Amino acid sequence: MSDSAFDWLSAAELSKLFSRRQASPVELVNAMLKRASALQPHLNAFVLIDAEGALNAARAAESRWQQGSPLSPFDGIPTTIKDTTNVRGWPTRVGSYSTDETPAIENAAVVDRFLAGGMILLGKTTTPEFGWKALTDSPLQGTTRNPWNLAHSPGGSSGGASALTAAGVNPFNHGNDGGGSIRIPAAHTGLVGLKPSYGRIPQSPADAPFADVISQGVLARSVLDTAMALNLTAGPDPRDWRSLPAEARDYTVGLDAGVRGWKIGLSLDLGHVTADPEVRDLIVAAAKRFEDLGAHVEEVGPMFEPLQQHFEPLWIGGFATRFRQIPTQLHDKLDPGLRALAEKGLSITLADYARAYEAKSKLARDLALWHRNYDLLLAPVTPTAAPPVETLYNSDAFPRWTKGAPYTLPCNLTGQPAASMPAGLTQAGLPVGLQIIGPPRADEVVLRAMRAHESASGWTWPQPRVLETLRGL
């Protein structure tokens, strides 16, 4: 597979080419559609591709650039939408036979923001059924694979988005994060993945079982693109009463101000989690880069007790809510792991839920108070590198509370911003992610730290191991 001139360019770079008339949105979209079609049989990252709609939108964007009136710097940049998220005129299947091909009647708020900026939607990307796990396979859409190594998962639940971004299809792709679903696939595919503060990007519909822990965002190859995407998507929407007020802020301003003088905590066993020794070594080395940049980094221990005891009711209770909405005759078509948890959740009581929410509030308060003395908290994103695609999630070999999402879930419960940055490769050549956690609502602090780490790490795209895999297709 030959490399296109567009494959590994950032959205910021493409925007400059458009403004200089050195490239056009139509050329770019044609190239991305060609690459997407070639990779789909191998990665299985798309649920649908709308070539006709994308090309029509590209022609309109090209006309705006020619007239000198782009809707935003991202006008004409292609992206995709995760198939947990409504796009008007497209079905939302969420990887489940319990859904159908009925098209959505309105866009999710984040989709409206992309379209208002002139971004072009190539299609929708894969997710595990109802986004329930940190791998991406589903009964309806099969298994999505990692472009670093096709025998491994790209993570989940935004696995289709991570696979495409890491394979050079679009500079960034939409994802969302209710327990690590941006950060985990970013870590497993060597990407930049920011879970913004809860409410920074509006969530709609806002009445889903897990709406109070989900943040919208993107999986990208650069921090600048991530900051620019947040500029485009942040701000309140009346469909989400919990969305944060608008800020008079450009998230690209101050990105390169550095971290000199910052006090940073490093927790390798956050919540009493045990990471693989190889992961721990890579995280320690990645954390030391902040010392080289003038920050003070110190290990701070596990921070809080294991999460399962307090927070299991929230998750299996949410699964049970979804399960009750599915006709009985379709239960046998559900992912067996999801069904088992949902059936267990049917016994959750109101008192169980209330205790879990009380614990959620306490965790948020305790971490907010901790941040009075520390600018950042560092931790692994995952205990392991990307698992093989045949891994049975929430089995004895891969329990979700100790292997799936134990490092990422706390920040969904507290709502604070957190990101994954590439920390290096294991001996097997698989990426590991460093998690950068900021104080409540301090997205600009996390982005600044992300940019500092990016500048010091030397991590650039395309990655040789990915090129080697893709050239073999």
Q: List, by residue number, the catalytic residues.
A: 82, 157, 181
User: Which residues 6+ apart lie within 8 Å of 447 measured at CB?
Assistant: 194, 223, 226, 227, 230, 251, 255, 419
Tokens of 385: 């590198």
Query: Rounded to the nearest 10 degrees, how much is the dihedral formed by the CA atoms of 288, 173, 205, 153?
Result: -70
Residue among 223, 271, 286 at smallest CA distance from 408 = 271
Q: How far apart are CA 146 and CA 126, in angstroms?
A: 13
- Angle at 360 (CA atoms; ends 354, 365), nearest 5 degrees: 130
Q: Is the peptide bond before 417 cis (omega within 30 degrees of 0)?
A: no
Q: Which residue blocks in 325-436 are alpha helix, DSSP H? A: 336-345, 350-370, 409-414
Strands 215-220 and 172-177: antiparallel
432's enclosing H/E stretch is strand 431-437
Residue among 147, 152, 192 at smallest CA distance from 1 = 147
159's enclosing H/E stretch is helix 159-166
Q: Is the peptide bond before 157 cis (omega within 30 degrees of 0)?
A: yes
